[in-house]
Amino acid sequence: MKKRTLGINGLEVSALGLGCMGMSWAYGPAGDRQAMISLLRSAVDHGITFFDTAEVYGPFKNEELVGDALAPIRDQVIIATKFGFRHDPNGGEWPVGVDSSPKNIKAVAEASLKRLKIDAIDLFYQHRVDPNVPIEDVAGAVRDLIAEGKVRHFGLSEAGAQTIRRAHAEQKVTAVQSEYSLWSRDPEAEVLSTLEELGIGFVPYSPLGRGFLTGAIKSDTSFDSSDFRNSNPRFTKEALKANQALVEMLSKIAESKSATPAQIALAWLLAQRPWIVPIPGTTKLTRLEENIGAVEVELTTEDLRDIEKAASDLKIHGKRYDEKSLQMVGL
């Protein structure tokens, strides 16, 4: 597996990471726990060193899963987790708001260390910007944790350019994580240029459009009742049908490269900047191996130009979150 470096502090990770959320939360019933542990360890065997989780996934179950799976091979992996949500006091699995108060940040760090069975969090992201807490206070709290040896690197998720600048001035930001793919290109407006200027790495989540860009999801695809895509505007039957044109475009290019649509989608991301590290998620070994194959797909300048032209002619239908989710997470 090829390696890439996130940020000027030199955090080296595999060119592709693994998003772990779907193994236990949000995309239907949790996978069999032992099978998911085996999958996580297989990812390491295949050269993946970068694993992404968060306390809110479950909540807590995903961190516990990642901790149990990776504890025996801790010295081979980089583990990223996140803080910043307020949990439902009634025990519901979905957060009820954001909380990046320094007190909460430090409490989350202590709890995450125990669940992950590690002595330091390699990369600690603010999961969503908290409008009630100055980003300087957030960065300061993480700086304290770094000084204490409990955190190694600071990250932000879904933050805008000015927030990134303010945070970075207080405590160097190693990576920013946001949704980015051929059907979610918002970071191109301001964020990517800001990261390039400041020397910050970028970690696209949902790089395969929550599964859509694999080509496996059609307009008549149904999801489990616990799958949050049921309420996602891009996964209505009408939007799925309209957006199939994007998958058809990827499929044509994939055929010419003896690759799959998912591999082309990931290869396109990898070609955007040398400091971009996508974190596709999966619960299946076959998909994991398919995704890893994207690292070897070579897209020429002409290929990238053709993809850009074809993509620019397509209109993506549906917002990436519903209104309730947007309000909850402050997007």
State the pLDDT at residue 328: 55
Interatomic CA distance for residues 5 and 129, integer angstroms: 24
**Reported confidence tier of residue 226, pLDDT bands at 50, 70, 90:** very high
Reported as a single tens digit per residue, the pLDDT across 261-277 is 999 999 999 999 999 99
Across the strands, what pairs with 6?
11
CA distances (Å), 282 to each of 40, 85, 122, in order? Answer: 10, 24, 22
Active site residue 57: yes
Computed over every residue of the chain, the mean pLDDT equals 96
- Mean pLDDT value across residues 34-62: 98
State the pLDDT at residue 329: 52
State the pLDDT at residue 297: 97
Q: Which two tokens stand for residue 4?
A: 């890439």
Q: Can you say whether the dihedral through the CA atoms of 314, 317, 323, 324 is positive or negative?
A: negative
Interatomic CA distance for residues 184 and 254, integer angstroms: 20
Please say whether the beta carbons of 154 and 171 come within 8 A. yes
CA distances (Å), 276 to each of 49, 174, 203, 206, in order? Answer: 15, 12, 6, 13
Short-list 81, 71, 68, CA closest to 17? 81
Reported as a single tens digit per residue, the pLDDT across 75-91 is 999 999 999 999 999 99
- The label of the residue with tokens 């505007």 reads 233
- Mean pLDDT value across residues 195-217: 97
Percent share of the chain, pLDDT over 90: 96
DSSP string, 232-280: -GGGSHHHHHHHHHHHHHHHHHHHHTT--HHHHHHHHHHHH-TTB----
State the pLDDT at residue 327: 62
Residue 127 phi, psi (nearest 5): -70, -40
Reported as a single tens digit per residue, the pLDDT across 105-138 is 999 999 999 999 999 999 999 999 999 999 999 9
Q: Which two tokens stand for residue 233?
A: 């505007």
pLDDT over 90 at 331, yes or no: no
Please say whether the beta carbons of 126 and 138 come within 8 A. yes
Pick the catalytic residue: 27, 57, 125, 180?
A: 57
State the pLDDT at residue 322: 85
- Mean pLDDT value across residues 59-80: 98
**Reported confidence tier of residue 321, pLDDT bands at 50, 70, 90:** confident
Instruction: Identify the architecture of domain 3-329 in CATH.
Output: Alpha-Beta Barrel (3.20)
- The label of the residue with tokens 């400091």 reads 275
CA distances (Å), 63 to each of 67, 79, 117, 175, 313, in order? Answer: 6, 10, 9, 20, 41
Residue environment code for 185-195, b if the CB has 16+ CB neighbours within 10 A, otherwise e:
eebeeebbebb
Give me the residue spans of the domains in the chain. 3-329
State the pLDDT at residue 326: 65
